[in-house]
Amino acid sequence: MTRRRKVVLSIAGALVGLVALLAFLGSVRDTHIVTVTRSTDACRDAMWDLWADVPARTEWDKGLDYIELDEPFEAGATGTVKVQGQDPIAYEVVEVVPQERYTDRFKSLPWTHTDWHHTIEPNDQGGYDVTWRLEARGPLSILTLPITTSIFGAEVPGAVDEFVGLAESRC
């Protein structure tokens, strides 16, 4: 075997090893993508009602063509979401604590899921902090981190601002 071939095989082996390590790390820990928090004087009921009325989310999440839920808004419910320019994907509501928080899970990549955590917490100013936190887990989560951070880092703040503005107008 030539020296050049040995070098190429060594580099290829190192790259495969690096990808395997990143895939392993992505499978055993959550990969943070973006967190957005806004303080608001909106009433908790208005915010919760906006989240629970799943098909109407297109009012404040302008990046959605549609979002459907096949069952009542509770843990275990499943649905489909269509983001502009993408194919529809399935999701599941994995946690619901009414008036406080919910999480939905999207399986858009092989063996990888993305969790959207949404919370409403009282703040020191007498209002609430509403937070969206996006995390991924799975072998592709670390590998796709730059892409997902770029996409969602740009889109989520606007959706949260629209959400808060609409909630404030309803109180």
How confident is the model over 47-83, as pLDDT tens digits?
A: 999 999 999 999 999 889 999 999 999 999 999 999 8
Span of 67-76, 119-128, 139-148 with lowest mean pLDDT: 139-148
For the chain, the domain total comes to 1
Query: What's the pLDDT band for 29 if we cut at 50, 70, 90?
Result: low
CATH code of the domain containing 83:
3.30.530.20
Distance CA 138, CA 109 (A): 9
Task: Report the pLDDT averaged over residues 113-118.
Answer: 93
Q: Are 171 and 42 in contact (CB under 8 A)?
A: yes
CB 160 within 8 A of CB 132: yes
Calpha distance 143→112 (Å, rounded): 11
Residue 155 CA to residue 147 CA, distance in Å, equals 13
Contact between residue 34 and residue 134 where contact means Cβ atoms under 8 Å apart: yes
**Residue 42: domain span:** 3-169
Q: Helix (H, G, I), strand (E, B), or coil: what is residue 85?
A: coil
Which stretch of 45-59, 68-82, 83-97, 107-121 has the lowest confidence by average pLDDT? 107-121
Cβ(111)–Cβ(92) below 8 Å: no
Q: Give the model's pLDDT for residue 66.
A: 96
